[in-house]
Amino acid sequence: MLGSPTGTYTWHTGSAITPLVPGNSGGAAVTWSIAPGLPAGLAFSLANGSISGAPSAASALQTYTITATNTGGSGSVSLAIAVIPPGPVISVQPFGQILSQGSPASFAVTASGSGTLAYQWYRNGILIPGAAGPGYGLSAVAPGDDRAAFTVTVSDTYGNSTTSDPAILSLYQDLATWLADNPTIAAAIKWQFQTLSANVYLPPTDADKVAWNSWSPSQQADLVAAYNADIAWYNQGAPQVTMTPGGPGLTDQPANQYGNQSDSISTMLWVTPAYMWKLYTAHVAFSLMLETSHQVPWSITDGNYSSDALKWLFDSASMAWINLSTGNYAMGTYENAGLPTLTTDNRPRTGFADPRWTYPWLKQAGLLCATRQASIGKTLDWMRYNLSHFYGTAEDPNEDFGTDFAIWQYRGYSPVSQIINGTVDSRYPAQGKQHWTAGCHGSVGFLNAVLRVVNIPVQPIWACGHEMACFMSEGLYLDHGDDPYNSVVKAWDPSCC
């Protein structure tokens, strides 16, 4: 007696099917047959009656009968099969917008598929009557439109459909007004403008910094201009910007002002005051743009951000310190600081990318989730599957200029984009392209550089020559920066548990 498969199966052209094997509770079959013949691309096994393959052409719904025969007789089972083209594909998602009250809003999607496509727009999951085209718009944005999520479902004549990513409509917030309404955030925005100590290991004090409310009009105007530029960029679909090493714009490979960059010298990264100001205001502006327009599901005003946590988003001393002798800004905690090193005032040892480069990567890599903790977990998983610990030299197992240049083609701390895109270590070309990271220090720096862009503060903490990460808004630690990609964790298969 033959059993499954029965029922109706709908398959797509070009996609391999999960093989169907009929169950047989009687004597062993001598012959197998199927009628009528299967659609093109599918194969029928005369050995066990299974159906496999990848259909190559559309086929209307039809009933097929599989028959098994032996000396005792025969048994049959029937199933229905339809082959249809693949469903619609969205090539350009509708993108969110940040607009002033009274401005018009428009959303559009670009999709391809078989036959005539149909469109239906939704607002916060509720169907919008009459919104049945590839575009949808509002004549004037009202206060009630703030945080509204617009999606569109694209369908074909075969019953396939796909739904776009949500496009968030946000009401523009004047930055100065918003900061006045959120004094805790305003107080956390601090720029280090001086240092009174020649001790390069002594962290700057609040007396060395100036907070937002005491910035000069031109300084405040710079931050507002960066904030508005981020909004304009977001309204264009938030495209990933390019970065030119050593160029005039923001880059994770800025011109290094440190004088002696001989191969054997421990790595240092110094940038000019003008560049540091541009980098700092760019990160602060981006964080505030995400917050005021609700582009991430969490908020820096939700009570989970202590003043110490906010420091790692908005205080320039969390990125670099002024060097008294040169006036340049020094990034990264020095390897030769001695032990025990500082635990609360370290700087991440990574080149900071333009946030408009990092944010699109986080989205494209699927690392942004509904919560901060889930996003941290996804980022750690990305590290687990991708990162490799760098090789130092016999003379210096830590970072030096020669090692950095060989691995990341930059005489400075490992650039975020080079870690993500992968490079070839010119000393070990047989290893091929790898996502090299500069050990635990570089990995904690990587976490700091990418997660701060989405308002998740990461504090680097040195201990016994190694480094751990404190996720301050969550009250959680990664006890060693190498943990995500060590040999035990990297080999662990989560599907087994």
Can you give the pLDDT at residue 489?
Answer: 67
* pLDDT tops 70 at residue 490: no
Q: Which residues contact 113 (CB under 8 A, 6 or more apart)?
A: 85, 86, 87, 88, 89, 154, 156, 160
Tokens of 64: 């097929």
* 393 and 402 Cβ atoms separated by less than 8 Å: yes
Asked whether the CA dihedral 44, 50, 55, 56 is positive or negative, the reply is negative
* 162 and 178 Cβ atoms separated by less than 8 Å: no
Mean pLDDT of the residues in the chain:
92
3-class DSSP state for residue 377?
A: helix
Confidence of residue 278 (pLDDT cuts 50, 70, 90): very high
* Euclidean distance between CA atoms 54 and 38, whole angstroms: 11
* 121 and 143 Cβ atoms separated by less than 8 Å: no
Give the torsion through C-alpha atoms of 432, 435, 438, 439, to 10 deg: -100
* pLDDT tops 80 at residue 4: no
User: Residue 234 has what DSSP assignment?
Assistant: H
Can you give the pLDDT at residue 72?
Answer: 83
Kindly report, residue by residue over 208-221, the tens digit of the pLDDT.
999 999 999 999 99
* Euclidean distance between CA atoms 480 and 312, whole angstroms: 19
Closest alpha carbon to 380 in 300, 463, 310, 444: 444
* Euclidean distance between CA atoms 450 and 485, whole angstroms: 17
Can you give the pLDDT at residue 368?
Answer: 96
Query: At 455, phi and psi to the nearest 5?
Result: 65, 35
DSSP H or E segment with residue 408: helix 401-408
* 111 and 90 Cβ atoms separated by less than 8 Å: yes
Using alpha carbons, list the distances in angstroms from residue 424 to 129, 194, 405: 54, 40, 11
* DSSP3 helix / strand / coil % (the chain, rounded to 5): 30, 25, 45
* pLDDT tops 60 at residue 394: no
Can you give the pLDDT at residue 246?
Answer: 87
* 121 and 140 Cβ atoms separated by less than 8 Å: no
* Euclidean distance between CA atoms 311 and 307, whole angstroms: 6
Can you give the pLDDT at residue 390?
Answer: 93
* Euclidean distance between CA atoms 404 and 390, whole angstroms: 9
* pLDDT tops 80 at residue 338: no
Fill in the amino acid letter for 126. I
Confidence of residue 465 (pLDDT cuts 50, 70, 90): confident
Q: Return the residue matching tokens 């998602």.
A: 93
* pLDDT tops 50 at residue 497: no
* pLDDT tops 70 at residue 280: yes
Confidence of residue 426 (pLDDT cuts 50, 70, 90): very high
Closest alpha carbon to 161 in 90, 256, 255: 90
Kindly report, residue by residue over 239-271, the tens digit of the pLDDT.
999 999 988 899 999 999 999 999 999 899 999
Confidence of residue 397 (pLDDT cuts 50, 70, 90): low
* pLDDT tops 70 at residue 495: no
* pLDDT tops 50 at residue 315: yes
* pLDDT tops 60 at residue 478: yes
Can you give the pLDDT at residue 325?
Answer: 85
Confidence of residue 340 (pLDDT cuts 50, 70, 90): very low
Q: What percent of the chain has pLDDT above 90?
A: 81
* Euclidean distance between CA atoms 343 and 464, whole angstroms: 10
Alpha helices in 236-388 (DSSP H): 273-292, 307-314, 355-364, 372-386
Can you give the pLDDT at residue 341?
Answer: 53
* Euclidean distance between CA atoms 320 and 203, whole angstroms: 10
| Lowest-confidence pick of 71-80, 181-190, 326-335 | 326-335
Domains located in the chain, CATH noted: 8-84 (2.60.40.10), 89-171 (2.60.40.10), 175-496 (no CATH)
Kindly report, residue by residue over 352-385, the tens digit of the pLDDT.
999 999 999 999 999 999 999 999 999 999 999 9
3-class DSSP state for residue 83?
A: strand
* pLDDT tops 70 at residue 488: no
Confidence of residue 199 (pLDDT cuts 50, 70, 90): confident
Query: At 291, phi and psi to the nearest 5?
Result: -70, -50
* Euclidean distance between CA atoms 348 and 235, whole angstroms: 31
Can you give the pLDDT at residue 248?
Answer: 83
DSSP H or E segment with residue 82: strand 73-84
* Euclidean distance between CA atoms 146 and 237, whole angstroms: 18
> For the residues of 309-335, what is the DSSP string, one character each?
HHHHHHBGGGTEEE-TTT-PEEES--G
